[in-house]
Chains A and B, each alone.
Chain A
Amino acid sequence: MSDSNREAVLGSLRRALGRDAPVDEDTAAKLRARMTGHARNIVPARTALDDAGLVELFETMAQKVHATVAHVASMDDVPGAVGEYLRGENLPSEIVMAPDATLDAAPWSDNSLLEIRRGAPVESDQVSVTSAPAAVAETGTLAMYSGPDHPATLNFIPETHVVVLPAGRVVKSYEDVWDSIRAQASDPESGRGGQLPRTVNFVTGPSRSGDIEQTLLLGAHGPRRLHIVIVDGE
């Protein structure tokens, strides 16, 4: 069924576009060049800032959409900051954590109050901790890529999501993220084998819904809380 439908849809399109055949080779070459040229369209000027300015813009924009932000000086301080946040919010100290190298660099075992499991979450998990490979200053958006070191369900199942973000990973725009996922895909060391990650999640604040009388409510299905720990020295 599918093949005849395919021909029918493409045929109908070509007739409507006034040709009976695929685009000619010259046009095809131009279109392929457009697809692989990665030319940027307009990128808002609000991100024309230095590195410190970008981190500040990211933080302001993330807070506007109800994310909370804390700063630490180095990866050494991350476990303490995570523990402090969970205690402050009266949240459980059991954590499901991404098995990722960025997080490995923090001394988790020094913080004996946290109970940590590494891997994908199960239904009962209340708190997840991941890092983010990039964050977009333009709108306070975290970018996260699925892979063995970052199960995508960590971003959605637990009620509280804590994200560790080295400050140097704050970029200007979504376009910077595109460049980085394309570079990662084609880097033999990444293990991506030329492919994009299965899931790229842009996360801007915690989950929300306005479906009942347009009242803003946080925590519709995904996390109720999104807490970002910015590591200033990284």
Chain B
Amino acid sequence: MSGSTTRNFKSNAARELANDTLRAALTKSKGHFTEGRSTAAENLPEFEALRDQSRDIKNHTIEHLDFYLEAYEEKVRESGGHVHWARTAEDARQIVLEICRSVDAKAVNKGKSMISEECEINEMLEANGIRAVETDLGEYIIQLRGEKPSHIIAPAVHLTKGQVEESFRANHTHLDPDRVLEEPPTLLDEARTILRKKYFEAEVGMTGANLLIAETGSSVIVTNEGNGDLSQLIPKVHIVLASVEKIVPTLEDAATILRVLARSATGQEFSSYTTLSTGPKREGDTDGPEQYHVILLDNGRTDMIGTEFQEMLRCIRCGACMNHCPVYQSVGGHAYGWVYPGPMGSVLSPGLLGVDEAGHLPNASTFCGRCEEVCPVRIPLPKMMRNWREQEFEKHLSPGAARAGLGLWAFMAKRPKLYQLATGVQMRLLARLGRAQGRVSSLPLARGWTKYRELPAPEGRTFQSRWKSGERPL
């Protein structure tokens, strides 16, 4: 995948850790999402039971995904829409391009969609002379800056308002350079005015889908701004680009998942706009799109079924795992190097890109378990990151030094006498090194570790020798 820099996770992370502006931006957002989620969960006594049900609905659907996809397809056709199947991101790009060309599109208005990022739709459109207009405020800001989203629901969470102001001044050059533009409301007003014009110019509107409903052939988007609605209602063509695992069987199942989605994501009880779209405009309707196309994308997902990573396909993209992840909160989303950051990205990206490309990511974890605790569909993210680590190790993809170190440790651990001797010697050595201060601030062979922290010096004998001499806890 051309856009991925996940191989460079370690250097990406080192760069981001030294970025003070990023630190300021992440500090501002953190409490907002985590407190919001916990308050929303407390305010709904059924929340935990709804998480269980959401998990079960997704499991049931994935077990019968071929059936539900075909049922969904039939309903979309019945309601006058078109269904296209895309095995790969390239297939999806081709289908989008063909639809755009069929109506001689000059511009495409886009609602926020991670699948569109995954398929690099904007790059393809621009290469073919079609303007891609991101209309979500966060997406609009990063499009101006030539950046990628750093969070799956808050794409510009890595930026401060000062950076947004800079970008607006640099790009909106037709406006008075002396205008006041410091505070978020003035920034929003400026973006609203500029984007408002564009809604009426595009021939095609594109959105993703939070859910696809097999019972009715509907696609569902969940937003707060209303940009996804304007993008799909005003142009004459609406394209929905969604991955195959977005299906749920019924409207009732959709309601259950919607009840956990916004609460887990932003802490809202319900987002401002939840929209069901079924087919094109009906006879007599005075607005709405004339054509409705759904592109069902696989791009590696069906290959995860039947493996230890199948449960990842339950993910509803709320972002709770990254909001609660100490690693994400330190390095931000860009360090992960591809579309999906945080714990869900560390599991999904190796599945979609391959462990050769994205095998570093599952190491970006403290295994604190917060991601699994807050996941609305209870995906065992830490367990799956461990599975990827094992695969990485088996494929000999982990670094030589780590392999040699682990090999040496395994050799010693299988020989208790030798192990006790070595740890005893090591302990005395460390105690001597740290005698003066009670801690060791620089250690040969472990400078990478001691560069950022100090190692407390051991105080006496090893646990094993104390146990042997009869010492017992009180």
A residues within 8 Å of B by Cβ?
A: 1-2, 5-6, 8-10, 12-14, 16-18, 22-23, 27-28, 31-32, 34-36, 38-42, 44-46, 61, 65, 119-120, 123, 139, 141, 146-148, 151-153, 155-157, 173-175, 178, 182, 191-192, 195-215, 217, 219-223
Contact A200 B275 (CB under 8 A): yes
Given the known inter-chain contacts A10-B70, A42-B50, A198-B278, please indicate yes or no for A220 contacting B224, CB distance below 8 A: yes
CB contact between B277 and one of A23, A32, A65, A199 (< 8 Å): that residue:
A199
Min CB–CB distance B5 → chain A (angstroms): 24
Is B86 close to A, CB under 8 A?
yes
- A18-B306, A35-B71, A35-B250 known; A152 vs B233 contact (CB < 8 Å): yes
Is A17 in contact with B28, judged by CB distance below 8 angstroms? Answer: no
B188 to chain A, nearest CB (A): 5
Residue pair B25, A5 in contact (C-beta under 8 Å):
no
The 12 sampled A-B contact pairs (Cβ below 8 Å) are: A8-B87, A9-B298, A22-B70, A23-B67, A36-B215, A146-B288, A178-B252, A182-B251, A195-B78, A211-B137, A212-B188, A222-B226
Q: How far is the CB of B319 from chain A (nearest CB, A)?
A: 12
Interface hits, B234-275 → A, CB 8 Å: 234, 244, 249-253, 255-256, 258-259, 266, 268-275
Contact (A16, B272) CB under 8 Å given A34-B250, A41-B53, A148-B284: no
Q: How far is the CB of A142 from chain B (nearest CB, A)?
A: 11
Assess the B255–A173 pair: CB atoms within 8 A.
yes
> Which single residue of chain A is at the shortest CB-CB distance from B305?
A16
State the CA gap A40–B259 with chains docked (Å). Answer: 13
Residues of B within 8 A of A206 (CB): 272
Contact B79 A196 (CB under 8 A): yes
Q: Please state if A42 and B46 are interface contacts (CB–CB under 8 Å).
A: yes
Chain B nearest CB, measured from A59 CB (Å): 15
- Does any Cβ of A come within 8 Å of B333's Cβ? no
Query: Chain B contacts of A222 at CB under 8 A?
Result: 225-227, 229-230, 272-273
* A-B Cβ contacts below 8 A, count: 272
The 8 Å CB contact of A211, one of B71, B154, B218, B281, is B154
* Cα(A23)–Cα(B234), bound, Å: 40
Are the C-beta atoms of B192 and A219 separated by less than 8 Å? Answer: yes
Residue pair B67, A31 in contact (C-beta under 8 Å)? yes
* B57 CB contacts on chain A under 8 angstroms: 41
| Residue pair A151, B302 in contact (C-beta under 8 Å) | no
CA distance A205 to B266 in the complex (A): 15
Nearest chain A CB to B230 CB, angstrom units:
5
A147 lies within 8 A of B302 (CB): no
With contacts A35-B215, A38-B252, A157-B230 taken as known, whether A220 is within 8 angstroms of B192 at the C-beta atoms is yes
Counting CB contacts under 8 A, is B138 at the interface? Answer: yes
Whether the Cβ atoms of B224 and A9 lie closer than 8 Å is: no
CA–CA, A44 to B259, complex, Å?
Answer: 9
